Structure 1
Amino acid sequence: MSYVVSHATKWYYDFMLLTYQYKLNPTPEQVVLLETWGELLRRHWNYALGERLDWLRRTRSQVDRCSLLCEPIGEIPSKPDYYTQASDLKKTKELFPDYKNIYADCQQQNLMRLDKTWKRWLIPDTSGKRGGRPRFKKRGDISSFTFPRVNHPKAGAHLTSNTLKLSKIGEIDVVLHRAIPDGFEIKQATILVKADGWYCSFSLEDKTVPELLPVDEIKTATGIDVGLEKFLTTADGQSIEVPQYYRKAQATLARQQRKLARLLKGSNNYNFQSNKVARLHLHVARQRKEFHYHVAHWLANSYDLIVFENLNIRGLARTRLAKSILDVAWGKFLEIMQAVAVKRGKLSIGVDPRGTSINCSSCGERVEKTLAIRVHSCSCGLIVDRDWNSALNLLKRGSVGLPIPGCGGLDISQPVKQQVSYVNLSVGRYTACS
């Protein structure tokens, strides 16, 4: 898989949305124009967010007392929302003529992003959780903007062969390292900048959604236990080692960041070195993402049903193991694995992980152990790797009521002392595990 390919996937009942990402080669003049658009959209985001926060502050007070510090005075403004702020775009262009040079749909999409973030903060989802408070953007924070229509008569973006024509920007060469599949419809295009240049993400609609495998046709199933000593362990005893891409790059990153700290902030040398550090972080992120996709495709090729654990990764990342947990990126891997499974027509189920490392997969007895104890040893005679025992328990929980053969734990006919076997996955130029 090329590094500039993204497989972010959303599935619906009758179609699937895929995201393909391609490198752009804009001219220096177009780069200046793209950066100007990003800066103007950032300022507009901050102004629109300020309107919303000002309305919220003026219309909220404590129920049983008045504030001892300050109270809002003056006329209380009307409630701002997407529609009122979008209708003010005409006035914005009259007061600030620079906004006339930005395609109107891109400005509307910028307000839609803010409205979505605002509602995610104020309105809880079905589980009662809410997002964080929207933040004001500092310079350079808005690094992308979206054209909601592509190859439409009234669209602002048109892709012809390897040329992307953007309204008010011009024609930009696209590195089409792989062709867009036949039958895929381009719904929108998002222009974004990374440390190594500009990219375009096309949102593609695929109406050929694969049928999920019927339950009675499942032939192979497994549970996967993710960890820090081993990236994951399957219910049949196969394990993949943790690649630790960030920890391996720490020495290089520390050296480059020390160089950055010695330079004058804002100088040309500082900006050059800052970009060098950002490229190193981007390289580590791409290594990790490539590794995740290889593991996900290996699982989809090997099993029809994959049972994983619903971890509270945000809570685990607040412990002293935070750096290692963020390095393996369990949450991103599970998201990628589920997307790959849907694209392949395979099944994936998340279950509660509580007690899977303690309970014996053979007899069900609780065997208390600390994190330092890596071997599960039960009075029934079963001696297996701790992660393997957990994967077997996960498979049991995920396959309850399903007619799946061989989904139980290790029985008495098998050797009581078991050891995991390591799987070797070569990821591009890098070896994921040994």
Structure 2
Amino acid sequence: MEWWLELLRRHWNYALGQRLNWLHRTRSPIDRCSLVSEPIGEIPEPVSYYTQQAALKETKRLFPEYKKIYAETQQVNLQRLNKAWDRWRKPDASGKRGGRPRFKKTGELRSFVFPRVNSSKAGAHLIDGVLKLSRIGSMPVIMHRPLPRGFTLKQCTIVRKADGWYCCLSMKDDTVPEILPIDSVKTAVGIDVGLEKFLTTSDGEAVSIPKFYRKAQDKLAQAQKVMSRRVKGSKNWKKAKHKVALLHLHLTRCRKEFHYQVAHWLCNKYDLIAHEDLNIKGLARSKLAKSIHDAAWGAFLEILQAVAVKRGLLVQEVNPRGTSIECFNCGSRVEKSLSERVHCCLCCQVKIDRDWNSGINILNRGLMAVGLPLNGCGKSIQDIEEQQVSYVSLRSPHHNL
């Protein structure tokens, strides 16, 4: 499997070089001749997924080792490159484009795909806990949960991680849950994500931020220091690098488990969840970049959306502008710096937690977006002023490093 990854990596780089060479030789500025900066030579034929797929026969003739790789796996490798190329060359509906596809160094390609499972001409078969891969062989697998009934296995992805090899199965289920009708929404909440508290709801409940990366910085620094003192490329350097990769993998899994716990906690209590449509990439370029990456708001919101869809619940994005400045009671603007954590309105004399005020504003905007009447957080102003933000304790994963 490691040899497959290395061969597919080389083929990725060759196919990407073909595309870039065609682009450089065929593009020409409008106001000057391309001979100034572009190479002289015969203009190559257009390069696409279909031309590169047709060239696989010639690749196998020149390099016989590629005959040992399952044919559909090589085709999927080219399909991945084609998707990355299209994201770079073709803007989406909003006019944004992805970054240029990169050449992959040794070890950077970590997965390959069998596009069909358990069919007559499939390259992967999973039967009774034994995975049989075409031209690789059979091997027992540890199932982290039983396969649900009624699902059809569609795709098998073999992934290499720091602690071993994994098989990711994609399944298809025709019984898609119906989205809850707007008229049937009984409970709604607005959530305000932050760095002092991971999130604060419009009901006055807050979830503490775990700070997985901050707590593991010393141990990571020690492991990285050991790796930097080794001769690059030596066996001891590879062992030290593997320890650093294991630490990062453990942090990622702890953070992901925490996100799933918070998402399920919200979906168990509410039918409609409103959150801010944040520009997380822009915020991550500020001085708070390390804390923002540690909280991983974007990953959490994606998980929240996925959990809500599976349950048929509603998740609504709202405009984040002014949610922490506007007063939820009278609507007046109360300018305050980021260090001020209490919202004090001079017009209506309301004094509550800053994040709680934002959560109520987010809820009201979410209700307006779906066409429901505003009900704030369901509490009177006197109750809000008297009650303090209460922290919710969730079952934390084993993240001791």
| Both proteins in one fold, TM over 0.5 | yes
TM range (shorter): over 0.9
User: What does residue 151 of structure 1 align with?
Assistant: 118
1:203 alignment partner, SS class = strand
C-alpha displacement at 1:368, in angstroms? Answer: 0.2
User: What does residue 383 of structure 1 align with?
Assistant: 351
Identity among equivalent pairs (%): 61
The letter for the 1-side match of 2:360 is L
* 71-80 vs 280-289, greater mean Cα deviation: 71-80
* Counterpart contact for 2:193–2:297, Cα < 8 Å: yes
The letter for the 2-side match of 1:111 is L
1:47 alignment partner, SS class = helix
Q: Distance in 2 between matches of 1:299 and 1:82?
A: 43
CA RMSD across the alignment: 1.4
What are the residue-to-residue correspondences of 1:343-422 with 2, within 5 Å?
Answer: 343-379=310-346, 380-400=348-368, 402-403=371-372, 406-407=375-376, 411-422=380-391
Q: Distance in 2 between matches of 1:71 and 1:218?
A: 61
What are the residue-to-residue correspondences of 1:49-68 with 2, within 5 Å?
Answer: 49-66=16-33
Q: Would you tell me which structure has more helix in proportion to its own residues?
A: 2
* Counterpart contact for 1:392–1:409, Cα < 8 Å: no
Give CA-to-partner distance per residue, 1:400-431, whole Å, 9 cap, x none.
Answer: 16345733576445353542100000123359
Q: Distance in 2 between matches of 1:270 and 1:256?
A: 11
C-alpha displacement at 1:68, in angstroms? Answer: 7.6
What are the residue-to-residue correspondences of 1:193-272 with 2, within 5 Å?
Answer: 193-272=160-239
Q: Any stretches of 5+ residues in structure 2 without a counterpart?
A: none
C-alpha displacement at 1:214, in angstroms? Answer: 1.2
Where relative contact order (Cα < 8 A, 6+ residues apart) is larger, the structure is 1
1:260 alignment partner, SS class = helix
Change in CA separation of 1:137 and 1:430 when aligned onto 2, cut-off 3 Å: closer
Q: Distance in 2 between matches of 1:417 and 1:343?
A: 37
Tell whether 2:47 aligns with 1:99: no
Q: Distance in 2 between matches of 1:403 and 1:311?
A: 23
C-alpha displacement at 1:267, in angstroms? Answer: 1.2
Q: Distance in 2 between matches of 1:57 and 1:143?
A: 29
C-alpha displacement at 1:77, in angstroms? Answer: 0.7
* Counterpart contact for 2:254–2:398, Cα < 8 Å: no
C-alpha displacement at 1:273, in angstroms? Answer: 1.0
User: What does residue 177 of structure 1 align with?
Assistant: 144
* Counterpart contact for 2:323–2:358, Cα < 8 Å: yes
The letter for the 1-side match of 2:356 is W
What are the residue-to-residue correspondences of 1:292-331 with 2, within 5 Å?
Answer: 292-331=259-298
Q: Distance in 1 between matches of 2:293 and 2:64?
A: 44
The letter for the 2-side match of 1:90 is K
* Counterpart contact for 2:76–2:113, Cα < 8 Å: yes
Give CA-to-partner distance per residue, 1:314-345, whole Å, 9 cap, x none.
Answer: 00000010000000000000000000001111
Q: Any stretches of 5+ residues in structure 1 without a counterpart?
A: 1-33
* Counterpart contact for 1:385–1:418, Cα < 8 Å: no
2:141 alignment partner, SS class = strand
Q: Distance in 2 between matches of 1:264 and 1:358?
A: 54
Change in CA separation of 1:414 and 1:52 when aligned onto 2, cut-off 3 Å: same
* Counterpart contact for 1:218–1:404, Cα < 8 Å: no
Q: Distance in 2 between matches of 1:67 and 1:43?
A: 30
Q: Tell me the TM-score normalised to structure 1 length.
A: 0.89
